């Protein structure tokens, strides 16, 4: 399944979902945002506010800085760790390498669990057409 969250499409954004069905054609779904509940792009990068340097660590053969944030929500503890590397020395900008969330998933805003994300081929540059949803026969789901 592929999901596209497009914040600047239509009046309040839209979610496009492409779902392959075994032995059948691909299904296309569309969910429009509303004024009260607009569709916004999903974050792929954590909000680093409140993170503190924890240690240096070898992760998958790469020397990384580990940054940590711990929060408490009621009786539930949430621990977030971010591994970054500096490929060209300590003065170079940090590059995301790995992120772990144990507790509430702040990126996807979903269930308490343990989530691990590996970043590869990360670039701050984007191509202008990368967020263009594919064509297809969209079936609209009304909220």
For 63-115, what is each residue's pLDDT tens digit? 999 999 999 888 888 999 999 988 766 677 788 899 998 987 777 666 778 88
Residue 104 lies in a domain: yes
Total number of domains in the chain: 1
Q: Rounded CA gap, 132 and 125, in Å? A: 16
Look at the block and give the residue holding tokens 């009046």.
Answer: 11
Give domain status of residue 16, yes or no.
no
Residue 73 lies in a domain: yes
Query: Would 39 be classed as within a structural domain?
Result: no
Tokens of 28: 């296309």
- Please report whether residue 68 resides in a domain: yes
CA–CA dist 70, 37 (Å, integer): 29
Task: Give domain status of residue 24, yes or no.
Answer: no
DSSP state of 7: T
Give 16 or 33, the one with higher predicted confidence.
Answer: 33
- pLDDT for the residue 26: 74
- Which token pair is 135? 């064509």
Residues 6+ apart with CB under 8 A from 42: 5, 107, 108
> DSSP readout, 75-99?
TEEEEEEEEEE-TT-TTSPPEEEEE
Give the range of the structural domain holding residue 88, as residue numbers without chain letter: 52-118
Query: Within a domain: residue 3?
Result: no
Instruction: Give me the pLDDT at residue 120, please.
Output: 77
Decide: pTM greater than 0.85: no
Answer yes or no: is 78 within a domain: yes
């Amino acid at each position: 399944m592929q999901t596209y969250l497009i914040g600047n499409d239509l009046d309040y954004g839209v979610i496009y979902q492409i779902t392959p069905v075994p032995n059948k054609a691909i299904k296309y779904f569309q969910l429009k945002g509303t004024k009260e509940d607009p569709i916004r792009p999903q974050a792929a990068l954590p909000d680093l506010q409140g993170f503190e340097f924890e240690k240096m660590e070898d992760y998958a053969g790469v020397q990384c800085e580990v940054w940590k944030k711990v929060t408490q929500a009621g009786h539930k503890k949430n621990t977030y760790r971010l591994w970054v590397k500096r490929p060209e020395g300590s003065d170079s900008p940090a590059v995301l390498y790995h992120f772990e969330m144990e507790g509430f998933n702040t990126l996807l805003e979903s269930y308490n669990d343990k989530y691990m994300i590996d970043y590869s081929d990360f670039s701050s540059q984007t191509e202008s057409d990368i967020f263009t949803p594919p064509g297809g026969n969209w079936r609209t789901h009304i909220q």
